[in-house]
Structure 1
Amino acid sequence: MQTQSLWEHTLTFFPQFLAAVEERAAAGATIAVIGASDGRFILPLAAAGYRVIAIERDPLALHGGEVHLPGDEHAHTTGLIDRLKLEALYDRVQVVEEDFLQAEPLGVLCDAVWTSCSWHYSANHHSSLAEFVTRMQGMVRPGGLFGAEFMMPVQQRHHLIEHYTSPEKLRGHFIGDWDALLTLRTNEFTERAHVGQLQAHTHRMGLLLAAHTPNSSYQPGKKNS
């Protein structure tokens, strides 16, 4: 591709999600990305032939502008919209410039939905983790795929914030009409400085992939044999 995302070199479980999409979704399937940023995941999905809904509220990520980089450098970054145009992918992507937690429903169910390390941001802590997950689940059609990678607690303060979760805890949101397909987790690792984190820092990350598989015998609040 002609342009590069600011997040190009950060660790991601996106290849596992993409492999699941390729296995389960038809050609031209509709995939929503919550927290589209400058297109690290949007462009590969669109280039693969999928119809993508990119939900992002940050004007800098969407339209580009000056960013502060490690080494006390400043540079102009290309936003998602211009990157899509440069790669001739703009017609394959619907950009929704809204706060995911406050936006009106899309009015369409998606074949897959993905988010990367979005709910742990403090700006999203005005809503519970359960609300974030439930809103994402509500976007997935029966038979569709849910994918999320997320930060796990490392510092003591993280253990006090539910949005820094674990695959085991997150699975509790996927009962009844959901089948957890894959959970992964990393050990602690040091990630080099990048935009938004101008010093090297320590992370733990998790992944959960789940399929929406309606089960007519399941009733919330009722014990099923």
Structure 2
Amino acid sequence: MQTPSMWRHTLTFFPQFLAALKERAEPDSTVTVIGASDGRLILPLVSAGYHVVAIERDSLALHGGEVQLPGDKTGHAMGLIERLKLEGLADQVQVVEEDFLASEPLGTTSDAAWTSCSWHYGANHRRPLGEFVDRMQCLVRPGGLLGAEFMMPIEQRHHMLEHYTSPERLQRYFIGDWDVLLTLRTNEFTERAHVGQLQDHTHRMGLFLAARASTPS
């Protein structure tokens, strides 16, 4: 990949999701990504042979534009659509420019669904976390994979919001037809300033991977 993502230096559990996907899905399977951003995790999926449905509401992430950078600088960020064209991958990605929580369901299922740190964004706090999880689950066919990385609470205000969660709290959404495959978490760590967070900041992150049963229980 020749076009850099503006999020390329931020920590992610995506390699664990990709490893599970390779174990459980065929190379030409379809993966739906909620919160596609500028394609930081889309392009690796396509390069690995998967078809991708990329859902994103943010115009800047999709179409690019001027961004504020650390150090009181500005720069041009390349959006997902331009990156896909430059990489010659546009035919393998269906871009859905919609609010995942407000739009009508896609009406189709995928072999896997993934989201990266989308729950904690303020725009998603107006709906219960369970609604987001339920919509994700509805995207996954029987036998398919669901993966989510998310922010865990650090500050007091985080503990007042269910969207800053933990693997233990997520368990209650995955009963019946779901098998939990892997949960991980970090300790608190300092992440360097980046687009959207112009000062060094502290995070704690979690990972939740689950598989939908091939037949209903």
Aligned equivalents of 1:15, 1:47: Cα separation in 2: 14
Report if aligned partners of 2:53, 2:93 keep a CA contact under 8 Å in 1.
yes
Q: 2:53 aligns to what?
A: 53
Q: Which amino acid aligns with 1:152?
A: M
Report if aligned partners of 2:21, 2:145 keep a CA contact under 8 Å in 1.
yes
Q: 2:20 aligns to what?
A: 20
Q: 1:210 aligns to what?
A: 210
| Per-residue CA distance 1:71-109 (angstroms, 9 max, x = gap) | 011001110000000000000000000000011111211
The answer to whether structure 1 residue 66 and structure 2 residue 66 are counterparts is yes
Q: 1:171 aligns to what?
A: 171
State the percentage of identical aligned residues: 73
| Per-residue CA distance 1:20-64 (angstroms, 9 max, x = gap) | 000000121000000000000111101111000000010100000
**How far 1:165 moved relative to its partner?**
0.2
Q: Which amino acid aligns with 1:88?
A: G
TM-score w.r.t. the length of structure 1 is 0.95
Q: Which amino acid aligns with 1:157?
A: R
**How far 1:173 moved relative to its partner?**
0.7
Aligned equivalents of 1:131, 1:107: Cα separation in 2: 17
Larger gyration radius, structure 1 or structure 2:
1
Q: Secondary structure at the match of 1:62?
A: helix
Matches within 5 A, 1:5-16: 5-16=5-16
Report if aligned partners of 2:182, 2:209 keep a CA contact under 8 Å in 1.
yes
Consecutive unaligned residues of structure 2, counting only runs of 5 or more, are none
Q: 1:104 aligns to what?
A: 104
Aligned equivalents of 1:43, 1:215: Cα separation in 2: 31
Aligned equivalents of 2:131, 2:183: Cα separation in 1: 20
**How far 1:147 moved relative to its partner?**
0.1
Report if aligned partners of 1:176, 1:214 keep a CA contact under 8 Å in 2.
no
Q: Which amino acid aligns with 2:168?
A: E
The answer to whether structure 1 residue 150 and structure 2 residue 141 are counterparts is no
Report if aligned partners of 2:150, 2:205 keep a CA contact under 8 Å in 1.
yes
Report if aligned partners of 2:67, 2:75 keep a CA contact under 8 Å in 1.
yes
**How far 1:216 moved relative to its partner?**
4.2
Q: Secondary structure at the match of 1:118?
A: coil
Q: Secondary structure at the match of 1:202?
A: strand
Aligned equivalents of 1:162, 1:106: Cα separation in 2: 26
Aligned equivalents of 1:149, 1:100: Cα separation in 2: 17
| Per-residue CA distance 1:180-204 (angstroms, 9 max, x = gap) | 0000000000000000000000000
Report if aligned partners of 2:142, 2:215 keep a CA contact under 8 Å in 1.
no
TM-score w.r.t. the length of structure 2 is 0.98
Q: Secondary structure at the match of 1:146?
A: strand
Q: 1:94 aligns to what?
A: 94
Consecutive unaligned residues of structure 1, counting only runs of 5 or more, are 218-225
Q: Structure 1 segments of 4 or more deviating over 2 A?
A: 214-217
Q: Secondary structure at the match of 1:172?
A: helix
